[in-house]
A and B are shown apart, each in its own frame.
Chain A
Amino acid sequence: MTAHVLAQGGHDVLVVEEGDHVPVGATEPYSLEDMDLKWRNGGLTPAFGPVKVTYVEGKCVGGASEINAALYHPPVPSVLDQWAKDYGIADFGGGILARHIEAVEKEASVSPFPGSPGIASERLAAGAASLGWKSVPVQRFWKYDATNPLGRRQSMTETYLPRATASGARIESGLKVKKLVFQGRRAVGAVATDRDGRRVDIRCERVVVCGGAVQTALILRRSGHTRGIGDTLSMNPMIRVAAEFDDRINEPEVGVPVQQIEAFKPSMTLGCSNGTLAHLALWLVGAPGNREEMLAEWWRLGVFYAKVMAKARGKVRNLPGFDEAFVYFKLDKADLELLGLAAERLATVLFASGARAIVSPVPGQGYLRSKADIPGLRAGVTAGKAQVTAIHLHSTVPMGSEQRGCPADAYGKLRGLENVWVNDASLLPDTPGINPQGTILAIARRNAEKMLG
């Protein structure tokens, strides 16, 4: 987004990306090959703390938009207004972002799933309705046409990056920025390494760091700019379970089913997850019985998630002698209790949707076969025994007022520096409680326009 707006505005733009350019469709989403080519550390990125949390980061041209489920939620105006108030963000709020939200929806082809959203979505919707819980099929960054009824993901490599290059921007992939170089308070360039580890020096007049919540903080900290950077990482922890039904629930051609239960938003979201054979097998680990026999009837199995807004904050640090970020995140008691409640509600709606059995994510618990088994699941999750994954990492360089301790101003410009901006998920002062890509893009569009002056 930033490259597109700045290049279109007449600036000479160079996009530097550590990963490779892997076109949409070149790999099967969520496959091992996809993870090797587009995910940082092949998907093995842990956050350390009393409860182990694994998260994922995109490491490719286009970043997270190339590997996520491409789900779109319009930013919630009341949340934006609250951020403006709580963090002292000037010229910010639902009304101010409205035209940017509208533009993003158009430019990135936000579309509803055409026709039926698939069996898993329908079953979840029916189960939720029977409990009186509201659920909706979520829109996606996706383009459909007559030649391809299943459509095509509209990630950055399909939308804003081609527009940026059409306006003259250049993209250099396979270049890892190690640190920014300063003369006084001005950044004058960056030191990077290429795929062979050779040093590459980059000169520039202005820098906009858009590496995602972890890498943006890491680059800035490695560059010696540490005050308030990487101290307030937020993320959305989630529990995933595999569930078995009497008949078909899994349709690989549909991709990630889009139905989400909205009744408990923003603090909690329940929905469907990716259910390829390998992912089903993964979430069956620990389940008693013969895994091969269960997987032989994979079409009766699905993976589902319960995600919450954690109150806890984590840290991103650069360890001396190591290249990678060290991420620390301590889920607190209240977060785990919320996650336990979310797991309970997920199991409740899955049984209401016709699930015959649910594989508990709590080691040693085996299957949940009826509602009577649910309290044990909640207790296990609350005690921090279940495997927790996380998505939607934000807030490592929050924007806002100096009085509130925010290292970036209302438009992402870093305090104490003359010509360095941040314009990605790091800026969000808190988690928006929804799939955040729409919010991030709308804010980035607003900020990039401001950079044009």
Chain B
Amino acid sequence: MLVLGGGIRGGVTVDAVISLLLEDLLDPSGRGLDAACLAGATQDMKGRVRGMPRYMGGGMAALTVLFVANGYTRRPKEKRVAQIEQWRTSPVSLQRDFVEFWEKMGTFTYWSRVEKAVH
């Protein structure tokens, strides 16, 4: 269950879903990301979705719920990565767009955090 308010109530928080999604997209082989930068990028991505035009933000939230609905967060990493690949190559453009958005913006926010940490 995705708890959109952010608290844990026998379910998974939005933060946890975003963090896992970024981890799988940015580091599919599991070599390891910087934990502080990942945490920062997770917050940044929440802000990105909130800042989207409303007619897009609602759709993005709905797609995220759909993406995690089949137990994504409980699966082992290799199966999560496989699910992402399935959406990436899906004939449904909305699914491909979903992966593209999280991968590109996730990459940008994560490396923004790395850049900030370096400086």
- 1/0 per position for A40-60, CB-CB distance to B under 8 A? 011011100000100000000
> How far, in angstroms, from A31 to B114 measured CA to CA in the complex?
12
Contacts known (A42-B47, A42-B51); A278 close to B108, Cβ less than 8 A? yes
**In the assembled complex, how far is the CB of residue B60 from the closest CB belonging to chain A, in whole angstroms?**
10
Q: Determine the distance from Cα of A285 to Cα of B109 in the docked complex, in whole angstroms.
A: 13
* Interface residue? B24 (CB, 8 A): no
Evaluate contact between B54 and A322: CB separation under 8 angstroms.
yes
Let me know if B36 is at the binding interface, CB within 8 A: no
Please provide the chain A residues from 128 to 161 with a CB less than 8 Å away from any CB of chain B in the complex.
none
CA distance A319 to B114 in the complex (A): 38
A326 pairs with B52, CB closer than 8 A = no
Task: Compute how far the CA of A284 lies from the CA of B111 in the bound complex, rounded to whole angstroms.
Answer: 12
**Best-surrounded residue of A31, A44, A324 (most CB of chain B within 10 A):** A44
Q: Are A281 and B55 in contact (CB under 8 A)?
A: no
A residues 271-299 near B (Cβ < 8 Å) are 276-282, 284-285, 291-292, 295
Contact of A281 among B44, B54, B97, B108 (CB under 8 A): B108
Q: Which residues of A sit under 8 angstroms from B118, Cβ to Cβ?
A: 277
Whether B53 contacts A45 by the Cβ 8 Å rule is yes
The distance from the CB of B100 to the nearest CB of chain A, in whole angstroms, is: 8
**A277 and B111 contacting across the interface, CB-CB below 8 Å:** yes
B107→A319 contact, CB < 8 A:
no
* Number of CB contacts from chain A to chain B under 8 A: 63
Cβ contact within 8 Å between B104 and A285:
yes
Interface residues on B, range: 20 to 34
With A319-B55, A323-B54, A324-B53 as known contacts, state yes or no: A42 contacts B48, CB within 8 Å: yes
Could you tell me the distance between the alpha carbons of A276 and B114 in the complex, rounded to whole angstroms? 11
Residues 77-117 of B, flagged 1 when their CB comes within 8 A of A and 0 if not, give: 00000000000000000000100000111011111101110
Chain A residues, CB < 8 A from B69: none
B residues apposed to A, CB below 8 Å: 31, 44, 47-48, 51-56, 97, 103-105, 107-112, 114-116, 118
Determine whether A32 belongs to the interface, using a CB cutoff of 8 Å to chain B.
Answer: yes
B104 vs chain A, min Cβ distance (A)? 5
A277: contacting residue among B47, B48, B51, B114, CB under 8 A? B114
Q: Hey, which bits of chain A sit against chain B, CB under 8 A? A: 31-32, 36, 41-42, 44-46, 52, 276-282, 284-285, 291-292, 295, 319, 322-326
Do the beta carbons of B55 and A36 come within 8 Å of each other? no
A46/B48 contact (C-beta < 8 A), A276-B115, A277-B118, A282-B104 known = no
Please tell me if the beta carbons of A44 and B112 are within 8 angstroms of each other in the complex.
no
Which residues of the other chain, B, contact A280 by a CB distance below 8 angstroms?
A: 111
Specify the chain B residue showing the minimal Cβ separation from A284.
Answer: B107
CA A280 to CA B107, docked complex, whole Å: 10
B108 / chain A contacts, CB cutoff of 8 Å = 32, 278-279, 281-282
Contact of B56 among A31, A32, A36, A46 (CB under 8 A): A46
Asked if B55 and A324 make an inter-chain contact with CB atoms under 8 angstroms apart, the answer reads yes
Listed by A's residue number, 16 A-B pairs whose Cβ atoms lie within 8 Å are A31-B112, A32-B112, A41-B51, A41-B52, A42-B51, A44-B48, A44-B52, A46-B56, A278-B111, A278-B112, A278-B114, A282-B108, A282-B111, A285-B107, A325-B53, A326-B55
